[in-house]
Chains A and B, each alone.
Chain A
Amino acid sequence: MSDPVIAAVGSSPIGRTELTGRDLFSAAMAEAFEGLPEPAELVDAVYVGNQSEAYEHQIMYGTLLAEWAGLRGVPAERVEGCAAAGALALRHAVRDVRSGEHEAVLAAGVERMTAAGTGGATEALSAATDRALEQRSGLTAPAGYALLAQRYLHEFDATERDLARIAVKNHRNAARNPRAQFQREIDVDTVLESAYVAPPLKLYDSAPVSDGSAAVLVTTPERARQLPGDAVRVTGTGAAANNLAVADREATRMRGAERAAGTAMEEAGIDPSDVDIAEVHDAFTVCEPLIAEAVGFAPRGRGVESALPPGERSEGWTDVHMSTSGGLKARGHPIGATGLLQAIEAYEQLTGRAGDRQVDAETALLMNEGGVSDAVIVGHVLEAGA
């Protein structure tokens, strides 16, 4: 059986907007299906990654977006796993095509985060922490990540300046990404002088609140060959849930990520050293070292060197390029769409469409998580040449 492929991708502008979720989706679909037949002639099912109805008071996003795309009648559902919703939608699409259940599936993601203001976003995101003991203690999502960062800096030879370099690297990449929310470079002092959100994490360690949508068409290689444009293969997918409460997990070791990435790479028949580019979930800078270590790119405690060019990192690091898109920090983080924006970056890199940020890449690993780091995490391996 041949691997499913990604045959078309599209996204809306990412950032603050006056558009609603369905409008952002329309913008993503307009790009993804430019020059293609009507979606109704291709798509057999729809999955929509969407974090929260708190922003727009709208559930039923599967039904809504299927209707909006002219796909009334197909099976359609919203997928929820906080910020991992997008990759979960992709995973469902991949598994449907791989199993032969459907020939072509639309994986979409959407979030209109600015609709409810900063307080509304804080409220909506805090729902991803455990209600019983964490939310009732006043814990927020940024504070949850700060608990991890505090422990990481305590256990390892790493500083706030090291974390700042990761944000600087991601802004540098985003400056070369036309899809990015922040297409400008920053320096380490900008990060270090920014206000604490939850110490040791500062404003510039944090992904922004973003509006945005992404759409990815997953289909068979045979069907893809009948369509214009290149395709990339999805050769592995893995997912794992860990404890919901941060307190119940190892702060500096992502067991869920180890498992999700391990499964995806095993399915693809590759090792971490085979991965040329990785899009990882830097909701906060500390996520990048934690994921780099969990998936096997970096020795434990040295993932914090992810901002250094391959070759200048400690022994035991692979030569992977991390988050060429600019990552969540600078590309933007419209929660339910983020996992699919990662897939779009890999698609562009693997098909030579990445412009000024193009690197030589045949194999990509995507790591998308939800619920303060490791609560649920999804890994995908994408490879060039369909």
Chain B
Amino acid sequence: MTGERAPAAGEYGPDSPFTLPGFFDALGEGRLLGGECGDCGAVLLPPRFACYACGSRDVTAVEQPHTGTVYTYTQVRRPVPALEPEAPFTVAVVELDSGARLSGRLTVEYEEAEIGMPVELSVREPTEHEREAALACEADWPVHAFEPR
């Protein structure tokens, strides 16, 4: 469970998982990194400068489990214009086995989803429409989703 510590002053850069480019680089390699607080144990997604639960700066980037369960979900029927060709689609908040939560697409129809459903994280290239919705700096960042298991 040892991981990378938050960068010191002057060392923040796009290779660090404590920045979004670094976080998404790791995700593209199949590693979902969370920031684990050394003081209170909260897991922060993505890793960051300080813990929102207790304020501590003792945060370490630790690889997260890919399995969890659906905490809540809905169906996006009217997305932003660029994603309209993909609608409707299901989104969920998933609680990972580490206790950390994150939102993401759920790869089942809305009617098949339910709270408590076991799911597993997957990572893919952005679709054509997602690239259209992205800023230039985000266009190559991978997109995660959850599949039933």
Q: Which of A25-33, A139-147, A325-333 sits within the interface?
A: A139-147
Q: A132-B46, A137-B143 are in contact. Are A123 and B80 (CB under 8 A)?
A: yes
- A245 sits at the interface (CB 8 A): yes
Contact B76 A138, beta carbon cutoff 8 Å: yes
Which residues of chain B have C-beta atoms less than 8 A from A142's C-beta?
A: 78
Contact B103 A198, beta carbon cutoff 8 Å: no
Which residues of chain B have C-beta atoms less than 8 A from A119's C-beta?
A: 80-81, 84
- B49 sits at the interface (CB 8 A): no
Bin the interface of chain B by size. Answer: 35 or more
Which residues of chain A have C-beta atoms less than 8 A from B20's C-beta?
A: 132
Contact A246 B93, beta carbon cutoff 8 Å: yes
Which residues of chain B have C-beta atoms less than 8 A from A151's C-beta?
A: 71-72, 115
Given contacts A136-B138, A150-B74, A247-B103, 15 further A-B contacts (CB under 8 A): A126-B80, A132-B46, A135-B133, A138-B80, A138-B105, A139-B76, A142-B78, A146-B75, A147-B93, A147-B103, A154-B72, A154-B115, A198-B75, A243-B52, A245-B102
28 of the cross-chain contacts (CB-CB < 8 Å) are A122-B80, A122-B81, A123-B81, A126-B80, A135-B80, A136-B134, A137-B103, A137-B145, A138-B76, A138-B79, A138-B86, A139-B76, A143-B74, A143-B75, A143-B76, A146-B75, A147-B72, A147-B73, A147-B74, A147-B91, A147-B93, A148-B72, A150-B74, A151-B72, A197-B78, A201-B74, A251-B72, A251-B93
Q: Which residues of A come within 8 Å of B, CB atoms?
A: 118-119, 122-123, 126, 132-140, 142-143, 146-148, 150-151, 154, 196-201, 243, 245-248, 251
Q: Which residues of B come within 8 Å of A, CB atoms?
A: 20, 23, 45-46, 52, 71-81, 83-84, 86, 89, 91-94, 101-105, 110, 115, 130, 133-134, 138, 141, 143-145
